[in-house]
């Protein structure tokens, strides 16, 4: 029994420090640059969050350049590979996995949120996080500036809806 104790301690330590398979699951789609994105981005971000974002090449370039300024370790050619991978695999309208079902509350703007916001985001992203009442109009204006398919009147309706239902 005494001789088996060190072996059990080693196994227990190995089990405790070894990441689970679920934690290591890479939700990013296969493609050239996937491993580079996984290594560079997972230093600070959960890959599941990145896999839910949908943006075009210009938008992904802004994200990546911002992250490099904040310390992401990517060379010039690696930046190009990452931007190309993200734009090709996580572009607007790409739906890689079925989103979790989210039922939004009824109200003026619900249909706009479901049709406009879901082009680039899953609805869980809208429904899960409560924001300050002043944040939603700024977020919606920012999304419109990034090219969200909405008119100024629709953007106001969306912001009013989100403020009414998803503010703290």
Structural domains in the chain plus CATH codes = 27-95 (1.10.760), 110-165 (1.10.760)
**11 or 132: which carries more pLDDT confidence?**
132
Alpha helices in the chain (DSSP H): 4-17, 21-24, 34-41, 47-52, 57-69, 76-89, 110-116, 123-128, 135-145, 152-165
Is pTM beyond 0.85 here?
Answer: no
Cα–Cα distance, 27 to 34 (Å, whole number): 10
Is the per-residue pLDDT at 110 higher than 90?
yes
Instruction: State mean pLDDT over 12-35.
Output: 60
If you search the block for the tokens 């398979």, which residue do you land on?
21
Exposure on the CB side of residue 38, measured as CA atoms within 13 A? 13
């Amino acid at each position: 029994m005494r001789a088996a104790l060190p072996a059990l301690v080693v196994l227990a330590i190995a089990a405790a420090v070894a990441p689970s398979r679920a934690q290591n699951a890479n939700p990013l789609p296969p493609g050239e640059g996937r491993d580079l994105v996984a290594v560079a981005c997972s230093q600070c971000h959960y890959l599941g969050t990145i896999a839910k974002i949908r943006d075009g090449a210009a938008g992904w370039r802004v994200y990546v350049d911002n992250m490099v300024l904040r310390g992401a370790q990517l060379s010039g050619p690696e930046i190009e590979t990452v931007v190309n991978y993200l734009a090709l695999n996580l572009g607007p309208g790409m739906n890689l996995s079925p989103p979790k079902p989210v039922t939004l509350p009824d109200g003026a703007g619900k249909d706009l949120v479901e049709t406009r916001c879901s082009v680039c985001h899953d609805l869980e992203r809208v429904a899960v996080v409560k924001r300050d009442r002043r944040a939603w109009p700024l977020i919606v204006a920012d999304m419109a500036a990034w090219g969200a398919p909405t008119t100024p009147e629709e953007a106001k309706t969306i912001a009013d809806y989100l403020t009414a239902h998803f503010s703290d």
